Amino acid sequence: MRKRLTSAKRKNGKKPTWKNIKSFIRKILWINDSPKKIALGVAIGIFWGIMPTFGSAILFSLPTALLLKANRTAAILATFVANPLTAPFFYAFGYKIGQLILGHTYFSFSWEFLTKAENLLNVGKSLLIGDFVLAIIIALGTYGLVLVIITKYKSKKASKQSGL
């Protein structure tokens, strides 16, 4: 009989730890590709992970990575930046940004509010535009950061190998 795993626990019954995060970073560092392609793949994954795709980020990141000739593995791994713990923060912050950009006033959510299609469209527009802006900003910052980290890591690794 198979045991059911919860999203907060791993096979060994322990919650994800710093060790798991380091393992995730190590997987990206060990990808055998150019730093630019890896960084672009991570940025694409981050972008689609932040967008309100509601679980379909991988389906969007893979064709985007193919189109832009980025690393597909890095793109897929980076989509997991959005998960049930982080997505509410991305969506809430993106919604606020969208409100500011579109000039919408604060909506108090109620049953009356939800019965008007115009209100739902305004919320949807605010969420989509705000998350788009947030995803672009975070993806660009991530691209630069990952590019620097991977370039340093690969040059350090090459110098160690040549020094042997």
What is the total count of domains within the chain? Answer: 1
Cα separation values, 44 from 78, 125, 136, 145, 156, Å: 8, 22, 9, 14, 26
Answer whether residue 87 is part of any domain: yes
Report if residue 139 sits inside a domain: yes
Is 16 within the bounds of a domain?
Answer: no
Q: Is residue 83, in this structure, part of any structural domain at all?
A: yes
Average model confidence (pLDDT) for the chain?
83
Residue 63 pLDDT greater than 80, yes or no: yes
The domain of 131 spans 29-156
Is 161 part of a structural domain of the chain? no
20, part of any domain: no
* Selected residue with higher pLDDT from 144 and 107: 144
> Between 158 and 100, whose confidence is greater?
100
Tell me the mean pLDDT in the region 49-63.
93
Rounded CA-CA distance 104/153 in Å is 45
Please give the Cα distance from 98 to 1 (Å, whole number). 48
Is residue 42, in this structure, part of any structural domain at all? yes
Distance of CA 111 to the CA centre of its chain: 32
Query: Is the model more confident about 16 or about 107?
Result: 107
